[in-house]
Amino acid sequence: MHPKATVRVANSMAALDRVLTSIESGRRTAPDWIHIQGRCRLDGLVDAERQALLRRLHACVLRGFKTPVEVGSTASERLALWRSIARNGFHDFGTQGFTKCYGSPFIEDYDYVGAYLENGLAGIDPYRIYSAILGSHDYTIEDFLQTPTCEKIDTVVEPMAGTGEFGHCSHFRHPELRYILFDLDETAREAVLARPWLEGADREYRIGNVLDPQVWRDVRSASRGNSLAYIGKQSHNLFDTRQLYDLLALGTSHVDHFILETPEPSLVQDLAPIDDLTRPEMADAGFHAALIEDERNAPNPFTNQLGFRMEVWDEDETRVLFEYPKWRAWQPPTLVALAELLDLEVLYLNDAVGDFVPVDACGSTRQPGDRVESIDHSEAHDGVGFMLFRRRS
């Protein structure tokens, strides 16, 4: 949770009612979070009562609520509780609790499990599964705007946006910014545009190839002021060396700040062949999801190339949702080397400093005898880092 987040606590249903009433009446402002704990429980309510309470909660929190996992409940009880929360505007796809987009007035339906219960694996929406297990829910443009390096941004570009969580969620907190999303995938575009956006939101979702110079020229013409592009989920790993070089050159020529989500340094041969991403509500409904190594493209420690697919399965069948046959797990030193060839400045987000810091300064605070275990990216972002590339001014 962000250190400056505001929290209200309710230990009983009566206390929760008092908290909500004080916010509804305008006596208190909405906090980021409400912690529901002790004798205050959502699971004891009948569905209609819970729905009414969740709707009040939705209007009274900016980010969401936290509630302990109830032990001893059955799979069907847990699933019913999860589905009723998800249908009423909150999900726990990130790591922070049950959330909605910051300050969003829209009660979105996040229940992707109902489609499975009705029609089995054939019924599920691949984009909703992607969003539940891989979507970026823990950070938004706010995390970058809080840094002195990126505090003055007018346009947010999300290339290779896919399900576009970053742009969509960011716009609720910063509706004053212009949002330009693009991807090759028309179905993803439709799914993102079908989500609720604030009236008057300055946003568009284009169809375009991130390696096409004309696409970037168009993006630059459509941008205003200072621009920042963010590519999430390490999607630049879809590219080979030449393409990655071109991507860095194009991005940094057409936006002011070009940010990639990058992994903690790792060896491809150490990656688990199956990364089981099954969420509790999936298991309770009877299916599983994982990223599974492509047997024909085993990890190559020289090239860092590997292949994998996103798969779901249940007792009866298996379905492949997305395939990534050529994925290069580009490591930070290689990205820095390419940036040096292009004479770019490279910084990384160091949360302890609260800013993007030149990569050359990494480790400079180390004392003799200290071991460098990992890059001090952050605690909040759990296993990922953010590298910023820009032209030297």
Ligand X SMILES: C[S@@+](CC[C@H](N)C(=O)[O-])C[C@H]1O[C@@H](n2cnc3c(N)ncnc32)[C@H](O)[C@@H]1O
Binding site for ligand X (CB under 6 A): 134-136, 160-163, 183-185, 188, 209-211, 232-233, 235, 238
HEC string of 287-305 equals EEEEEEECCCCCCECCCCE
Residue closer to ligand X (CB basis): 232 or 299: 232
Give the shortest CB-277-to-ligand X separation in angstroms. Answer: 13
The candidate with the shortest Cα–Cα distance to 253, out of 201, 206, 208, 214, is: 214
Give least dist CB 358 to ligand X, A: 25
Residue 36 or 260: which CB sits closer to ligand X? 260
Residue 33 or 230 having the CB closest to ligand X: 230
* C-alpha to C-alpha distances, 162 to 105, 167, 175, 206, 341, nearest whole angstrom: 23, 10, 21, 11, 29
CA 362/CA 373 separation, integer angstroms: 12
Query: In the sheet where 178-183 sits, what is the strand order?
Result: 203-207, 178-183, 155-159, 227-231, 257-263, 384-391, 344-350, 355-358
Least gap, CB of 315 to ligand X (angstroms)? 28
Q: How far apart are CA 91 and CA 339, in angstroms?
A: 38
- Residue 42 or 156 with smaller CB distance to ligand X: 156
C-alpha–C-alpha distance, residues 88 and 108, integer Å: 7
Residue 275 C-beta: closest distance to ligand X, Å: 14
Least Å distance, CB 235 to ligand X, is 4
Nearer CB in complex with ligand X: 58/168: 168
Closer Cβ to ligand X, 161 or 248, answer by number: 161
In angstroms, give the least distance from the CB of 327 to ligand X: 9
Nearest to 273 by CA among 308, 302, 303: 308
> Are residues 317 and 115 in contact, defined by beta-carbon separation less than 8 angstroms?
no
